[in-house]
Structures are given as C-alpha cells and as structure tokens.
Amino acid sequence: MDTPDIGRRRWLILALGVLAQAAQATVVNGVAFLIPTLHQDAGFTLAQAGTLAGAPLLGGVFTLVVWGAIADRFGERLALTAGLGLAAAAMCVASLTASLELSRTASAALLGILLMCAGAGAVSANSASGRVVVGWFPPRQRGLAMGIRQMSVPLGVAAGALVIPTLAGGHGIAWALAFPALACGVAALACAVGVIDPPRPGRAEAERTGALANPYRTSLSLTRIHLASILLVVPQYVVWTYALVWLITDRGWDEVGAGLVITVAQILGALGRVVTGAWSDRVGSRLGPMRIVAAAVVVSMIALAGVSLTNSPLAIGVLLVASVLTSAPNGLAFTAVAEIAGPYWGGRALGIQNTGQFVFAAAVGPVFGGLIAAVGFPAAFALAAVAPAVAVPVVPRD
C-alpha cells in the first residue's frame, strides 16, 4: 500500500505527536525534579521522595503494550486522547491531594497511586505515535520525522526542569504538579482535534498479504532490535542520570554552571536524533547507522572514562559528545521497529520496545549509583561501554 499524501498536514500531525511525547515526559520524568522539595520542605524521607518520583515510570511499564494494542486496533487518535486525558485527570487529583493537610503516610500512599495512574496514561504517547509517522510519511522522510518525534523527550525533560522546581519553590508542590496536568490536558485536546489516523489495508487484504501475521514468529529482527536498544539505553541513562552529579562532585562545578551544561547536552542530544534520522533516510537504512552509532557510543564512553581520570579541559566537550551519541540510536530503532512490524503490529511492537527500555533504565540508577560509590566515576563510565559493545553485533542486518 502506497503512503498517502496529505501535503503539509502530515507535519502538523507530527508536531502534535511531538507535543504528546513532550507532555508525557513532564509526567514520567518531571516528578523527579520535585525530590528536593519533597525531601527538604514536605518532610518526606529521601526513599519516599525517590519512590514517588519513580511511580509514573512504574505505572507506565504495565500499560505500554496495552496502549500499543489499542492503537493497532482502534487508531492512534483514540489512544493518544484517552491516555493523555487519563494522565491529566490523575495529575489534577494529585495536585489537589498535595494541597490537602493529610498525614505524611496517607499523602505518600495516595500520591504514589495517582502518579502511577498518570504514568500509565501518559505512556500512550510512547506506544501510539509511531504508526502516524510510518503511515503518513514516505520512507525517504521517515527517519527525519521519527528523529523529530524522538527529540520531544529531551525537550519535555528540559521544560520540566525549568518549570517544576520553580513552581515548587515559589508556590508549593500542588502548583508544581499542576504543570504536567496542564501539559497533558492541552496535548489530549490537541490530539483529539488534529490527529488523523493514517489509512491501512482492510483486514481481509491484510490477512491475504500476511500483514496480520505475528512478526515475532517470522523473524528475529524485532527481538534483536529490542535487545540492542535495551543495551544502548544503559550508557544513555548513565550519562543522563549522573552527568550532573559528576560535574558537581568530581569536577567542582557549581549547580548553576552544571545545570547549564546539562541543558545544552539535552538540546544537542535532541538535535542529534534529528540528524541521525535524516542520515538514515539518505542512506536508505535504519540498522546500518544504528550499528555505527552504537560503536561510536563505545568510544565516547571510554573517552569519558579517560578524561574523568584527569582535570583535562576536554572533559566537558567529551561529555557533550557522549550525550549526543548515547541519545542518537533511539529514533533509528523506533523507526525500524515500526516499519518492520507494520500497521497491525506497530503499536504493540513499540510498546514492547519501550517496556524493555523503561525496565532497564529504571535499573541503571541504583546499579550505577552503587558502582560509582564503590569504584568511582572513571570505572563506572568504562563499564557502561560494555553494553553498547555487546549491542553492535546484536543489531540485525537490513
């Protein structure tokens, strides 16, 4: 089936996908910016604050595949609108809960449940928005379009880092939680109005051509891409999670300067996803560039480990390069998964892709936190290079 042409409208739909993905990032990743306020001002223990910050991610793990199945069966517009609407409602109630004078135990329990529900709804953007890129964009533009879509996560994290701590410090936790609620509510309404589900073959034709067949039974390609992506998420989250700590505790930077470096790193990482997507369009391959970038990630993490041993002025430049390279494979993998899985399996395949990445991303924090405490930053960065080294041969051939 040829890719339909709706002219410039497809770019508007892509922009709505970016908005949806950025909104979910303010929920899934944004609550972490409340940890200092929850701990220092609200009286929560550091363990309680950390648990609340991880609650949206935990809730999302259980629903990624479900939202993908809904998108496959009923369309992306319904999945995005319903999921983001649920997230907005849950965050509104969480904001109201934070404004009530409840006991610390009751408040932590209720907030945890509500944040899990918000994450469970918000991740509909992760699973659902792949089909729209594959459905409305021709192959020569899909890599670029998916790269633009994937840059939304760093942008959403940057927005959360800018707004949420400021609201929490100036107006309290309730107002800070209202920001993700507003973002998800606006995104849900925009998707309901503006998103058009791309056409796909009828079920009779799809059954005749084999499009309804389970792609996991006919090839190991999807499984290998999932496994490679899980391995590649390790250095990405090591850099995302501990770069700020490294700059402050190991390099001696102040919080403002270190925060500025991390903001620049996030922006460059977002742009890197667009560039690699356009590159994949130009060469007509997603997996070849993904393999090359994975090899480059190995080199960048070893270089980061090397400069960590000294006070080299090259350290910041190496950190920025590592931030770009570790973020770059994400869009390539998502594009490949959506294309291989097809219109009737794309949502579920992207849900499986995200689930594996979410689980391992959640494990990176405590595992590498312990490693850094035990052996220091240089050794931890070097060990993070092992995962992408294993990923290189795992990436399948086109």
Range from 172-186, 240-254, 333-347 that averages highest in pLDDT? 172-186
The yes-or-no verdict on residue 131 having pLDDT over 60 is: yes
Q: Which fold has domain 215-394?
A: Growth Hormone; Chain: A; (1.20.1250)
pLDDT value for 206: 64
pLDDT, greater one: 218 or 390: 390
Over range 103-117, report the average pLDDT: 84
Per-residue confidence band for 4, with pLDDT thresholds at 50, 70 and 90: low
- Give per-residue pLDDT as tens, 196-234: 888 776 667 766 766 677 888 888 999 999 999 999 999
Which pLDDT belongs to residue 307?
92
Instruction: Decide if 9-199 and 215-394 have a common fold.
Output: yes
0.85 surpassed by pTM: no
Find the range with the poorest average confidence among 129-133, 217-221, 271-275: 129-133
Residue 96 has pLDDT above 70, yes or no: yes
Domain locations in the chain as residue ranges: 9-199, 215-394
Section 374-390 average pLDDT:
94
For the chain, the farthest-separated pair of C-alpha atoms sits apart, in whole angstroms, at 65
**Assigned superfamily of 9-199:** MFS general substrate transporter like domains (1.20.1250.20)
Q: Model confidence over 18-76: pLDDT tens digits?
A: 999 999 999 988 887 787 788 777 777 766 777 788 788 889 889 988 998 898 888 88
Average of per-residue pLDDT across 78-87: 96
Q: How confident is the model at residue 181 (pLDDT cuts 50, 70, 90)?
A: very high
Q: Is the pLDDT of residue 320 over 70?
A: yes
Residue 358 has pLDDT above 70, yes or no: yes
| Mean pLDDT, rounded, for 82-95 | 96
Mean pLDDT along residues 312-320: 89
Half-sphere exposure of 357 (CA within 13 A, CB side): 25
Q: What is the pLDDT of residue 210?
A: 67
Q: What is the pLDDT of residue 102?
A: 64
pLDDT for residue 278: 92
